[in-house]
Amino acid sequence: MHRKYAEENATVQQRRHLIAPRRTSTLAVILSTSLVVTAALDIGTGIIPTDVTGTAPVAATQSTASFAEGTNVVVNDPAIATQGEGEAARTVKEFSREEPFSMFALTWNGQRDIAAFVRAQAADGSWGPWYDAEPLDETSPTGTTGTELIYVEPTTRVQVSVAGVDMVGAPAEETPAPAPVEAAPAEVAPVETPATGTSESTAPEPTGAPLPTNYGDIKPVAEVADAADLQAVFIDGNAQDGGIALAAESESYGMPEVVSRAGWSADESIRCQDATVDDQVSALTIHHTAGSNNYTQAQAPGVVRGIYQYHAQTLGWCDIGYNALVDKYGTIYEGRYGGLNKAVQGAHAGGFNQNTWGISMIGNYESVTPPQETLDAVGRLAGWRAALAGFDPTGEDIHYSEGTSFTKYAYGTEVTLPNIFAHRDVGLTTCPGDAGYAQMDTIRAIAKETYDSLVDELSGTETSEAETSEVETTSAVPSETTTATSAPVFSGQVGAGTDAVGSPETAAPTAGVVASEPTAATSAPSAPSEEPGVGAGVGAGATPAEYQGATATQ
């Protein structure tokens, strides 16, 4: 899920309008090799079983409150005072809950210019760092939008600082205003207002050392929303109630160990029943979830369940937005339902969801480098997925934007992107953080090593520079995808149904992982859509046949 752009973007920082160019290209092994590799990597038309047994479903707990119900508190903290104009202390909202929670977000309807920071109170009464909660770049069919769900660690109290929201005028629990007083001569000092309603202009000067923060200055926003228009969301993944099923080796050759949805105790009753399946996966998108990195290995599945609850139910995205997640210990979790070996469309990069596959690192990597365990796992998973789809992890290709207000590229814009690109490359965000973004080449290198190893082992030949050539890829205009509706049926055939050689055929249910049969995608362009997973970006320019029959330089 974080925000630090170049000076030229400062005036539009709040809306994250990045305008950086993009690059990408395609590498595929020669036709015969590609057919052998993709057939061997995929077990066939069925989905891959990622573990043997699962655990009982565990539901995340959630409660909400109007943002206006929070108590106004003046924070004498220079770390957060920089959000407002001048050097005055800042008024924030404070929320207390009887039941502990570990994750927090804000939601609202429609599009609003809102920046939010949140911090949690520890058991000893001290306050933790401020975490940046960026707006997500997806809108549900009902119009609900929100910030990222921030893991703040188990707590019962948080403070929230926002820009673009009327805090003082909100109907919070404040001391009643004093009775009217008679007009006084100009030379008489004005009557002071109650402390609970203190405005920024009358707040005391900040004192003491600043608390730790994961972000510096933020520009004030132009538009102001009413606090009553926002909802505060409190979620806990109930880590104490669910374990994690041991990941087992997959029947798909070369795939890293993955904890399936059953393994992290996904409650399948809260998602939509049908997955949207694209004709192919043509690029991978790297994210981070933001929030605290201070989670244990036992708490990580609860974080995944919390994100699932927030995406599927609170925001109405039908399911978790990412195709896979990786924690700081290197554990890989299956994300969106439908099968890791299928071109399941996620909701992770508005304007470029179609034909892309999202991997999110659990944690905040704005200023902290992702652990090597995380980078290794992300790279191995990306390399396997690229080999399955038939594109070079270090290549680049042309994509076409599906528009929406969440990307910097207008509908139909031709964009050259790396085959493994970061969320910030297409979205109005700093995801996966500055430190995470600095490791993109490391991820690509690990993915390339995995990819080359799989291609060489399964093809029986080594790809040399002599076998590659520069190609001009062509691509259709943005196309529609269809939603799978057929009942899943297992088939164990090898060499059929991979997304690199055509649309997947009938899929099969296994322990906690279910896939549905996709229908052929149409070639007609679709209008831009604000709905997640629909009209969200066309992937690689080359058709499946072009991937198989041509190679490109890195």
CB 541 within 8 A of CB 473: yes
Question: At residue 87, does pLDDT exceed 70?
Answer: no
In this prediction, residue 76 carries a pLDDT of 82
Q: Which domains, ranges and CATH numbers included, belong to the chain?
A: 1-60+242-554 (3.40.80.10), 61-236 (no CATH)
How many CB atoms neighbour CB 220 within 10 A?
12
In this prediction, residue 388 carries a pLDDT of 94
* C-alpha dist (Å) from residue 510 to 5, 366, 516: 44, 37, 12
Q: Compute the distance between CA of residue 413 and CA of residue 408 in angstroms, rounded to an integer.
A: 10
Question: At residue 37, does pLDDT exceed 80?
Answer: no
Least confident range of 189-198, 226-235, 405-414, 419-428: 189-198
CB 51 within 8 A of CB 333: no
In this prediction, residue 498 carries a pLDDT of 42
What value does the mean pLDDT take over residues 73-78? 83
In this prediction, residue 389 carries a pLDDT of 95
Q: Could you tell me which residue, 538 or 140, shows the higher pLDDT?
A: 140
**DSSP states of 204-234:** PPP-SPPPPBS----PPPS--EEGGG-EEEE
| Closest to 303 in 3D by CA, of 291, 314, 286, 318 | 291
| Closest to 45 in 3D by CA, of 492, 544, 501 | 492
Side chain identity at residue 320, one-letter code: I
Least confident range of 48-52, 140-144, 276-280, 331-335: 48-52
Question: What does the block give as tokens for 94?
Answer: 């404070």
pLDDT tens across 143-190, in order?
Answer: 888 999 999 999 999 999 998 787 765 443 443 444 444 444 444 444
What value does the mean pLDDT take over residues 81-109? 82
CB 253 within 8 A of CB 113: no
H/E stretch holding 162 reads strand 150-163
CB 93 within 8 A of CB 167: yes
In this prediction, residue 474 carries a pLDDT of 33
How many CB atoms neighbour CB 166 within 10 A?
14
CB 531 within 8 A of CB 6: no
Q: Place 280 in a pLDDT band, splitting at 50, 70 and 90.
A: very high
Q: Could you tell me which residue, 59 or 29, shows the higher pLDDT?
A: 59
Q: Could you tell me which residue, 262 or 254, shows the higher pLDDT?
A: 262
Question: What does the block give as tokens for 300?
Answer: 């990580």
Write down the number of H helices and E strands in the chain.
7, 19
Q: Place 244 in a pLDDT band, splitting at 50, 70 and 90.
A: low
The alpha-helical segments, DSSP class H, found in 251-354 are 300-309
CB 242 within 8 A of CB 59: no
CB 90 within 8 A of CB 160: no
CB 36 within 8 A of CB 463: no
CB 244 within 8 A of CB 485: no
Q: Which of 5-19, 77-91, 138-152, 359-373 has the highest mean pLDDT?
A: 359-373
Q: Place 274 in a pLDDT band, splitting at 50, 70 and 90.
A: confident
CB 321 within 8 A of CB 532: yes
| Closest to 138 in 3D by CA, of 415, 537, 451, 553 | 537
Rounded percentage of the chain residues whose pLDDT exceeds 90: 46
Q: Place 453 in a pLDDT band, splitting at 50, 70 and 90.
A: very high
Question: At residue 407, does pLDDT exceed 70?
Answer: yes
**DSSP states of 394-436:** T-EEEEE----TTBSS-TT-EEEEESEEEGGGTBSS-TT-HHH
* Pairing of β 225-226 and β 165-166: parallel
What value does the mean pLDDT take over residues 368-377? 98
* C-alpha dist (Å) from residue 436 to 24, 303, 418, 440: 19, 19, 16, 7
Question: At residue 531, does pLDDT exceed 90?
Answer: no
Across all residues in the chain, what is the average pLDDT? 71
Q: Compute the distance between CA of residue 240 and CA of residue 447 in angstroms, rounded to an integer.
A: 34
Q: Place 409 in a pLDDT band, splitting at 50, 70 and 90.
A: very high
In this prediction, residue 83 carries a pLDDT of 53
Q: Is the dihedral of CA 152, 153, 154, 157 positive or negative?
A: negative
Q: Compute the distance between CA of residue 196 and CA of residue 175 in angstroms, rounded to an integer.
A: 6
Q: Could you tell me which residue, 142 or 335, shows the higher pLDDT?
A: 335
* C-alpha dist (Å) from residue 166 to 171, 338, 380, 499: 10, 42, 47, 49
Question: What does the block give as tokens for 224?
Answer: 């102001």
Q: Could you tell me which residue, 60 or 168, shows the higher pLDDT?
A: 60
| Closest to 317 in 3D by CA, of 272, 261, 368, 375 | 272
Q: Compute the distance between CA of residue 540 and CA of residue 200 in angstroms, rounded to an integer.
A: 50
